[in-house]
Every structure is written in C-alpha cells, then in structure tokens.
Amino acid sequence: MSRSLQRHLSISLGRAIATVGLLAALASFALAYFEAKEFQDDMLRQVAHFHVRERVTEPTQPDLETTGQVPLSDPESRISVVHLPRDKRPDWLSQDLAAGFHTLPDGTDRYRVFVLLTSNGERTVSAQLTDARNELAIDSALRTLVPLLILLPLLVWLIISIVRQKLAPIARISHELDQQPAERPTSIPTDGLPDEILPFAHAINRMFSRIETLIGQQRRFIADAAHELRTPLTALSLQARNLSHAKTVDAMQERGLALQAGIDRACKLTEQLLSLAATQAGANATTPIDVSRLVRDLMAQHMPLAETNGIDLGLDESAPMSLIGASDALRLILSNGLENALKYTPRGGDVTLRLMSTSNTDIIEIVDNGPGIPDDERERVIDAFYRIPGSPGSGSGLGLAIASEAATRLGGILSLHARPDGSGLIYRYSQRHPQ
C-alpha cells in the first residue's frame, strides 16, 4: 500500500489540531459556563445589597400579599427579591434559612437563592430559577466556541496548504530526475532546498558522480579495448593469409608458429580485458584473508619460473598477517607484481616478498633488483594500455591497471617506489586497519 508523506503529514497534523482544538473548546466551554454561574451568583448578591440600601419597590410591581408570587426585580435576568418578614414568604423558601447561597426545590423547578441578613434582623432574599441560570450560562459559554469552531477548518486547510508547499521541492527534484538522460546523469541543484532535504540531495549527487565515473571508465574501456584488439586481430588476419600462401612444409610450419603466437597474445589480451572489466564491476568483499598462506601459495606457484630464470625468490615476514577483503582480488594484485618482478629481474637477481604491519596499516611489498622504472613513468605505467617505450617483451599494458583497480576495490593503495639501496623496484600494496 502506497504511503504519501504529504497525506500522512496533513492527516496527522490535522487530527492533532482538531483534537487539541476540541479539547480547548471543551475547556473553554466549561470555564465560560462556570464563570457565568459565578457571575450570576455575584449578581444575586449585588441585587440583594442594592435592595437593602435603597429599600425601593416598583409601584407597578404586584403585591406579594395579593398574588402570593415572588416579584421580579430584574425581568431580564429573572431575579426575584423578597424582604422578610415584610413580604409574604413563598412556600419553597424556608423561614430559618441561613445567610449565604442555597439551591432550593419548588416542585419541578429549582431556585438559586442568596440570603442577606441586615443589622435590624431582617432578611433580604434574591432568587433565580436554575433553568434560567443554566440557559444564560450555556448561551454565554456557547459564544466562546464560535471562534474556535470557525478556526478549526481554517487551520486544517492552512496545514494542508503549508505541507503541500513545503514538500514541493521533493516533487521538483523527482521531475528533474525523470528528465535526465540515463547515459549522462547530472547533479540536481540544491539552491533553495530545505535543510532536511539537503542530505538526501547531496547523497543523490554523490551517487551520480560515482555513476558518471563508472560510465566514463566503461567508455574508456570500450574505446581502449577496441583499439588494442584491432592490432592483434589484423595481424592474425595477415598471418592466416601468409599461411595459405606457404609453398613448403617448413614455411607453413614457421608461419603456423607465428600465427599460434599471435593467437596466444590475443587470448591473453582478451583475458586481461575481461579481468579488468570484472575488477571494475566487482563488489567489495569483507571476508578475512590469511595473507601469509596466500603469499606462500603464490611463491610455490611461481617458484619454477624463478628457478628457470635463476632468480632467488624469498619471503621476509615478521609476523603472520590477515586482511579483510576479497581473496581473489588480493591474489590478482600480488600475482601481477610477482610476475613482473620475475619477468624483468636479470638472471642471478633476487625477488623478496615482504610483509609488514604498523600501528594502523598492513603493507605487502615485492622488492626486486631489476632495472626499475624511471621516476616520471611510475604513475603512468598504472594507466591502462600504457607501456614504457622500449620495454622488452610483448605486453598489453593492462596488468598494472587491473591490479590498481583491484586495490581500489579492496580499499587499499597500490604504489611503485624506487629501492633506496640500489637499482630495482618496490611494488607496494598497503591497506589501513578497519576502524
């Protein structure tokens, strides 16, 4: 079921305001009602005191002696006043009623009474029907509800309008994202966005930046791969034609060997291209790696090549090492460095794998005493398809690029350094300890 943030906020805030408004209305009604009752009691008191001071009776007022009814001294408020013992006492009024406020029954009616004792022993009684009092109190209290009842719908409408207006930037961002081409995503503008939405927009822009980098890598990879594959495929085509024109068996065998070598180079280049693509698209793994065991396996695998080239292959390990990452990626990094070291180190040289750990970094080095790499070429050789001019052998220039990409995926750094104690190269992979 879809959940609209705008609708959810509007309904929640509307309910909250309606609930609080109704509670406030009830509280206001109750306070106004009881305040009206107190005001009416105070009016009864004031009427009694007024009649005591003035001792005035309206000439048009009927005589209590002949009517037997309590005269109305305030027809609008329906207040009756009795002076005892001068006036005739109504049946519902007790003779010995104490001074102060009382509520007295009279059949189906009820009276609110105030009794005032004077200094000469007389009693002045002001009375009012409770039904009249309740009617006046309720009318007065209801008037306090009118502003609240009018304001509640207005407040709900204002909330819905404000929520819609404040969430409009999200709709704008969504529209801008929909309009962007998939092959060229651009950052969304953050001007005027609320502070609560800014982190979300910044996260999208950072993701777009990573996507743009990845798309750029793929484009460069496709262009470079097409360029690099064109040359060996053209050479294979020419060698196949030369093979068909061979006149003798020896010539055919010679050209067949050249064709086979070209096929092997094309296969290796294709494998490296696939490795580079897989490394760039690979996910970061978080499994522990026994580096000490991995290094010994690699040494055993490359020992025949080292013995064939007359190279002393050794290990310098101060303590067992373990890293967090992808074992295949680390194997690819170290295998690339070890193969290059054995390939370019002259006969009688030495290659050493060195494992070191500092307080916050693990370091794996492959040290050789070969010709090394010039200072101005050490960063360039990591680029894909780049080879130092005049380098011996046939290569595609992809090995270091693949290793560098794998190092980045592992969260480490691959770097090349000159040996401080002589000619040669230090192939270094370093990775910080996890926090």
What is the C-alpha to C-alpha distance for residues 356 and 255, in angstroms, rounded to an integer? 50
Judge whether residue 121 has pLDDT over 60.
Answer: yes
pLDDT higher at 77 or 191: 191
Every domain of the chain with CATH number 3.30.565.10 lies at 285-432
- Extended strands (E) in 182-330: 287-290, 312-317, 322-325
Burial class (CB in 10 A: 0-12, 13-18, 19+), 429: buried
Q: Considering only CA atoms, which of 364, 403, 407 is closest in space to residue 383?
A: 403
- pLDDT tens, 298-357? 999 999 989 998 999 999 998 888 888 888 888 888 988 898 899 889 999 999 999 998
Residue 252 has a CB neighbour count (10 Å cut-off) of 15
Please name every residue paired with 315 in a beta bridge, in sequence order, or none if there are none: 353
Looking only at the bridges linking them, the beta strands covering 350-357 and 312-317 are: parallel
For 241-269, what is the mean pLDDT?
A: 75
Instruction: Return the percentage of the chain with pLDDT > 70, whole number.
Output: 82
Judge whether residue 107 has pLDDT over 70.
Answer: yes
Position 58 scores a pLDDT of 46
Cβ atoms of residues 18 and 152 within 8 Å:
yes
Position 391 scores a pLDDT of 60
Q: Which helix (H) or strand (E) holds 101?
A: strand 100-106
As a CATH number, domain 198-278 is 1.10.287
Tell me the average pLDDT of the chain: 77
- pLDDT tens, 259-300? 777 777 777 667 766 666 666 555 555 688 899 999 999 999
The residue written with tokens 């494998």 in the block is 271
Cβ atoms of residues 334 and 429 within 8 Å:
yes
The token pair at 383 is 């680029």
Residue 135 has a CB neighbour count (10 Å cut-off) of 12
Residue 402 has a CB neighbour count (10 Å cut-off) of 24
Q: What is the pTM of this model?
A: 0.47
Judge whether residue 169 has pLDDT over 60.
Answer: yes
Position 329 scores a pLDDT of 82
As a CATH number, domain 285-432 is 3.30.565.10
Every domain of the chain with CATH number 1.10.287 lies at 198-278
Position 100 scores a pLDDT of 85
Position 21 scores a pLDDT of 76
